[in-house]
Structure 1
Amino acid sequence: MENTNTLQEETQDNSVVSNEHEASKSQIVLATDDMNIQKAGEIIRNGGLVSFPTETVYGLGANAFDKDAAISIFTAKERPMTDPLICHIYQKEDATELMDEDDQVKEIFGLLADRFWPGPLTMVVKANKEVISPVITADTGYVGIRCPNHPVALSFIKEAGRPIAAPSANKFGHVSPTKAEHVYKDLKDNNVYIIDGGSCNYGIESTVVKIYHEEDSTSENPHIKLLILRRGGVCETELNAFISEFKTSNKTMKITTECVEKKHFTEESHKMEAPGQFLRHYAPDLPSYMLAGQRLDGSEESQLPLEISKCVFLDFNKENIDLKSKVLLYLDLSEHGDYIEAISRVYDYLRISETQKEGEMVIIADLMNPSSTLDEGSSHKEHSSALADRLFRAVSGNSIIVNEDFTQFVKSSTT
């Protein structure tokens, strides 16, 4: 069989897609045309759906003050109503009317906004129920707010003249979109106005942090907790640096951070305060597994035959470079072990993986438990947890153990 382990599959025939556009309900327009931005704003004001680029992924936006418009997001994505939407705003001051919080939480919110906005940080606070529908909050009473760091997104939100409720612009559970064509492939039949602003710079979703009182807010020494509900563009190192500086300047208010660990919901009936917490998420349309570090010794039961020539392999730092000539397609998230580079590629590579016609399985290097070789010489390690989280959900927590020859495997679980 001819080996196809190159990046030629990374781009598709745009002429074919263009022909499809003529018959579809959705359309792609260029962000460089001001008239398109103006029309996008008008569509939002009239209750329609607009997909727009951010520095993280493409969002599927609707008027945050329009309940019916928000519901149409869930319909288009086939998304459970228990998964909340994030409200995107043009500037920090626009957050005031969306929240119902005391001065202490507002102070921390404002300081975090000054530090990280515009940028990939979503802050979850008590919602102003007079303007924010429970549809957006998944009926939890909390709303996520962020100001994206992308000129097209900001121009669009400003033109719309109201907050934009938006999750990622893909079918629920599928790989998030980092290009306009990704959005089109998932939502072409849903009457979405897609603003093409090029590839997203960062490549995975924003960090989501809940701000709340750990103790009674009337305490003389209030304790504010920052609970990281989803890892993303702002790493824990940056948040801890913020806290350290805050402690130096404020002696009366205590502030700490904590990260939700190993909390992967499988039931859609659970109401969540932040998106992206289901076990199966960001998943390609091929069975996908994390490659376990150990090897089969022949004593395991239920061994299955593995046709490595029909597998797509996603590597990191060239750890499994010897497989390149054996697999259907070999892609390295970062040949130099740079986690930021890997993050910028991961969703695109997962989508490329599922387009391989002869592909039967996607195997991913284990970034949940990196070996010393895998991690040696790597850079931007502070972002490794965010990448590992996305890959963990892309494989639904599943892993495989293979023999030395990659001809046999058994399924396992990392949950």
Structure 2
Amino acid sequence: MNPTLDKLLGGKQGAIGLALLAALILVVFPLALDAFRLNMVGKYLTYAFVAVGLVLCWGYGGILSLGQGIFFGLGGYCMAMFLKLEASDPESTKIQSTPGIPDFMDWNQITELPLFWEPFHSLGFTLIAVVAVPVLLALVIGIAMFKRRVGDVYFSIVTQAIALILTVLIIGQQGLTGGVNGITDLRTLKGWDIRSDEAKLILYFVSAVLLIGCILIARFIIASKLGRLLLAMRDKEERVRFSGYDVASFKIFVFCVGAAFAGIGGAMFTLQVGFMSPSFVGIVPSIEMVIFAAVGGRLSLLGAVYGALLVNFGKTYFSESFPELWLYLMGGLFIVVVMYFPNGLAGLWDSHGKRWLARLRRKPQVAAAPKPVAVATSKRPTPELETTP
């Protein structure tokens, strides 16, 4: 196999696992689920972008970020700003006191579109901003933290604080961001109605293909020299530093990659759900995103996707079937996973699934027929009958 292709696919076993995941999300789910449920799975897949990034940052780099909701929300808000401007054309907003601006700005007596909103009239700029804005913020945080060797639990606390600050800022600036309600009533993308079932199906496939692309990028990083250095830094950071490597730069890079993945997920979430609000930026959603990676296995890219699907499916099922108990049931699920499956679903597969498959592959041996046993005969002559004289 081509070395580059081998890195992308993760060897034969990785290629099989990726093919199974692709078959599940590209074939099985679309054929087995109705439009409503498929759209929900599409929303779950947008969270998987964040979980894949966390596998790189936390599982391989040892960087536990409890603020990935920041980057998810920024990507989502960038896309929401473009969609909201398209929905706020002068014809659609002619009943406002100031036509041509988003409705929440008009409600807050803003009479002119803010300057930082202007570039989001362009779809090209928006697509770049979906990745660039989270990456730039991650770069600033990374330089401020890692260059000063702030890590471990202190870094986690700082990311939580930043998530809280950003949430308060978005809610406080209601006239510029939509406040606690967020940016809602998103209808079209370049005239294409994103609310129809056909559009949601197409957006689902776009999200699934982008997710597979992010997994391939992450696998390439892990299989490269950088991936080996990330593992070494996670286990013995000082030893890697004394070997002459710039540990801070490697951490900043992988942290920015995780932010880029999260930004893409946030943008696809906005397109599929039709709104973005600060409830996806704060501490609670950020911790839930870490749980997705933990349940799936923090060292497994594919496990992170399955973890995001399983946890969100559990939330949906428990909240629908047991509305008064679903929080306790979800808590119990997390406790069981942490106590009995510390390596997540991927660890469970490694310890039991492979053994089970190995047993299935063994051909049953047909018992051979027993060989006939030769009966020993005596070589003594047969005694003659005695006769009486």
Q: Could you tell me the TM-score, scaled by structure 2's length?
A: 0.26
Give the structure, 1 or 2, with the largest relative contact order (CA under 8 Å, sep 6 or more). Answer: 2
Which is richer in strand? 1
Larger radius of gyration: 2
